Amino acid sequence: MAGTTPTAISRLTVVLPANAGARYPLKNSNFPSSSGLNGHFPPPISSLRTNRRLKVLAQTAGAPSKDVSALELAAKVGQDRLLKVPVSNIRNFCIIAHIDHGKSTLADKLLEITGTVQKREMKEQFLDNMDLERERGITIKLQAARMRYVHGNVPHCLNLIDTPGHVDFSYEVSRSLAACEGALLVVDASQGVEAQTLANVYLALENNLEIIPVLNKIDLPGADPDRVAKEIEEVIGMDCSNAILCSAKEGIGIIEILDAIVERIPPPLDTSSKALRALIFDSYYDPYRGVIAYFRVIDGTMKKGDRIYFINSGKDYFADEIGVLSPSQMQAEKLYAGEVGYLSASIRSVADARVGDTITHYGRKAEEPLPGYQEVTPMVFCGLFPVDADQFPELRDALEKLQLNDAALKFEPETSSAMGFGFRCGFLGLLHMEIIQERLEREYNLSLITTAPSVVYRVYRSDAEMIECSNPSLLPEPGKRKSIEEPYVKIEMLTPKDYIGSLMELAQDRRAVFKEMKYIAENRASLIYEMPLAEMVGDFFDQLKSRSKGYASMEYTLIGYRESDLVKLDILINGDCVDPLATIVHKDKAYGVGRALTQKLKELIPRQMFKVPIQASIGSKVIASEAISAIRKDVLAKCYGGDISRKKKLLKKQAEGKKRMKAIGKVDVPQEAFMAVLKLEKEVV
């Protein structure tokens, strides 16, 4: 790529670098400003593109000499990001939004406009570096990036943290917010306020962050910024008179966003003279360098080579390498209060540098550790078993390393008579469970079987003792338990008014209790229900999207436990109870689930030399039954007539043999049958 590109604008030739980071004023040029478009929305696409091109050219032009190559310029821009700026010129902010409202696209454009990423290296979803994120088009992990931006001829350091949008990854969002002073609230100008928009705003308000509302996708034909701004004011109660109108895809309004970040988000406190306290907000395991921790320096300074101490784990190491994320790792000699960076200290044990721990100096320890993060409570549980039993140690190591990167994951060992050794894992939701399983299979080359998702029940025994049970096989016998309580969630569904009826029907089918309905705009309503979590961990979200043609969104919070009429549904094959197939269901649904499971097993289990009964039972009462007929030899083939008693004798002899065979016979349930039935359980439970 050539280092410079001559571009003629308004009879003025400007020499543009490949991608420079400084704002450079151009004399005698009259560029249209995107802020001048506010009265005409949505403006014509052609004018948006023209303005975007002119705006980008005007704001990213640098002043390199003709003999400076593109590589030298890129190196200079990279070095500029490492130059120290006063603490008053540092801004730490994150981007929060509902799924698919344009967070990652906006982050890409900010990186491009500020010259943080060279144009030749730029690609869509630049910060989403997992294949899984690119395939699904969602953000799973928070990502940090340091940018340099010149505002009013004064250089500023902007630390951006891009966050996920799905409710299952809200723990990532909360950790990001704790490392920032401000947040960009991105709302789609055509979709409006959605469920996760509200949830993320409340998280930001809890952390006392300065929130800048940004209306994205104004270039879409269906965009209505005035309506959406009014919706934000009515639903959230936030003043939108100074909301920024932008199109991340077309590059409109990006400079206004950067200016607003500098002008409206407060700088961090200057506490460099205090004892070092740094908060670890993320980490991952590198097979060559060990644990790499991402941290925000709250107080004091950290230098390369310092002996550091982790307060919660009580371990100490030497900081072999420190630096900033921009967005790739760039080494630095020293980091000050208010800055965000990474640390490599040859940490081999994943337990030594956990998310939420406080880093301080070994020689000058801080008196108080930082508050850290609230311990996350898993909502959904399932069993993870390796297909090959020899892979159990690899699965344990993989889960430990993945837990370092995803602090919301919880696990404990579990044994199953059918599937051997594995782990009982806790997740924040179904998507979280699916992503973890895929990451284990892709990143660690494991073949896994997952059991049906379940929730934690509280079981009160006859002796008044309370136990928590997430595995149906551990549920006490009916005579030993007094009652069972299940977790309930408060669920809020935001939907266009056309789909209110079908969503109400869906909620009532799932034992939900109606609480409130209100119109947040002329054609959008909010439905609030209280529902058992067990009813939501199946295909509720899929059904919600299907019935509303993709327009509805939902958000839920745990509100406590309530007593319910729940039973343990056992599956018996040839009279033997198969623990991995047991489930806890509501009494009213037990027959339907039992019938579906027995019919599926009849199709999957191969025929034996004897008759195999398949039963679904509640305690000793069988509620659904199927039978696999025996493979029979035709013992009457050699009889060419004669008395009937001869045939009866042969048939009786065969029946006695089958009876003996059944008494000592064992039915092997194939792995494929388990996997198919577990998949069915996920659909019907």
At 128, is the secondary structure helix, strand, or coil? Answer: coil
Residue 642, H or E segment: none
The phi and psi torsions of 328 (rounded to 5 degrees) equal: -80, 165
Task: Classify residue 454 by its DSSP letter.
Answer: B
- Residue 24, CA distances (Å) to 51, 61, 244 in order: 17, 6, 23
413 is in an annotated binding site: no
With CA atoms as reference, report the closest residue to 200 among 190, 215, 185, 216. Answer: 185
The phi and psi torsions of 31 (rounded to 5 degrees) equal: -90, 135
Q: Around 593, how many Cα atoms within 13 Å sit in the side-chain half-sphere? A: 25
131 is in an annotated binding site: no
For residues 92 and 156, give the distance between their C-alpha atoms in angstroms, rounded to a whole number.
11
Contact 249/267 with Cβ under 8 angstroms? no
Q: Kindly tell me the burial class for residue 39, based on how many C-beta atoms sit within 10 Å of its own C-beta (0-12, 13-18, 19 or more).
A: exposed
With CA atoms as reference, report the closest residue to 22 among 159, 160, 158, 154. Answer: 154
480 is in an annotated binding site: no
Contacts of 42 (CB under 8 A, 6+ apart): 218, 219, 220, 221, 223
For residues 144 and 127, give the distance between their C-alpha atoms in angstroms, rounded to a whole number.
8
647 is in an annotated binding site: no
For residues 285 and 283, give the distance between their C-alpha atoms in angstroms, rounded to a whole number.
7
Contact 247/49 with Cβ under 8 angstroms? no
- Residue 296, CA distances (Å) to 176, 207, 325, 351, 413 in order: 10, 15, 12, 20, 34
166 is in an annotated binding site: yes
162 is in an annotated binding site: yes
254 is in an annotated binding site: no
Contacts of 445 (CB under 8 A, 6+ apart): none
98 is in an annotated binding site: yes
484 is in an annotated binding site: no
For residues 165 and 311, give the distance between their C-alpha atoms in angstroms, rounded to a whole number.
32
42 is in an annotated binding site: no
SS3 per-residue string spanning 132-200: HHHHHCCCCCCEEEEEEEEECCEEEEEEEEECCCCHHHHHHHHHHHHCCCEEEEEEECCCCCCHHHHHH
123 is in an annotated binding site: no
164 is in an annotated binding site: yes
For residues 192 and 213, give the distance between their C-alpha atoms in angstroms, rounded to a whole number.
12
188 is in an annotated binding site: no
Q: Are strands 244-245 and 210-216 parallel, antiparallel or unpaired?
A: parallel
With CA atoms as reference, report the closest residue to 219 among 51, 100, 30. Answer: 51
Q: The tokens of 357 are what?
A: 């721990």
Q: The tokens of 168 are what?
A: 């299952």
Sign of dihedral through CA atoms 127, 129, 133, 137?
positive
165 is in an annotated binding site: yes
218 is in an annotated binding site: yes
Contacts within 8 Å (CB) and 24+ apart, 469-476: 470/381, 470/424, 470/426, 471/381, 471/383, 471/414, 471/424, 472/568, 472/569, 472/579, 472/582, 472/583, 472/584, 473/579, 473/580, 473/582, 475/568, 475/584
Sign of dihedral through CA atoms 603, 608, 609, 614?
negative
Helices 392-405, 430-443: crossing angle, 10 deg rounding: 120
Provide the annotated binding site: 97-104, 162-166, 216-219
Q: Which residues are annotated as a binding site for GTP?
A: 97-104, 162-166, 216-219
